[in-house]
Every structure is written in structure tokens, then in C-alpha cells.
Amino acid sequence: MTAHVAQYTLDVGDLDRMARFWSAALGYTVRRGGDGSAKLYPPPGRPGPTVWLQGSGTPKRGKNRLHLDLVADGDPAAEVDRLVGLGGPPG
């Protein structure tokens, strides 16, 4: 028996901005929780973990402890340009 990742939970400083970015970047649908969180779901028929974003309420301290590698469906350079256009950091 093995396990798989069902969900990533990220504490974020700007919940609305991060929900817009990650939903557009991944093509996920956003559903807001009653607690102010945002849960992102993959498109129907596409396997993938959900992403749960919750506001941290405190400034970031130190290095992030999670690094996500994304794979482009098409031209990698065009995808980098698209993600930067959505507000992602260049480089």
C-alpha cells in the first residue's frame, strides 16, 4: 500500500491575491470557506491534489519550507511569461 498527496495547505499573507494567482496558474476552481480560507479544486476529470489557502495573519519569517515545481503543458518559456503576468515572481 502507498499513499498519495490529497491536499497542500499553504499559509499566505494575502489570501485573495494568492487564490487568484494559484487558481489561474493551475486552472483550478476556488471555493471560499466560512472561515475565510480558500480551497482550490482541479478541473473535473483531472486528477490532482486540492490546494487549501489560509491567511496567516502574520508576516513571513525566514525561508519558505515548501517548493512546488510546475510542469508546463506547452512551451515552458511561454508558461513562465504567463505566470509572471499573473503576478508570479520572475526567475
pLDDT at 59: 77
Q: What pLDDT score does 57 carry?
A: 78
- Give me the average pLDDT of each 10-residue run along the chain (91 residues): 90 92 96 93 93 86 79 90 90 68
* pLDDT computed for residue 25 by the predictor: 94
Question: Is 81 strand, coil or helix?
Answer: helix
- Which residue ranges make up each domain of the chain? 7-85
Instruction: Specify the pLDDT at position 37.
Output: 93
The pLDDT value recorded for residue 67 is: 80
CATH number of 7-85: 3.10.180.10
Q: How far apart are CA 29 and CA 27, in angstroms?
A: 7
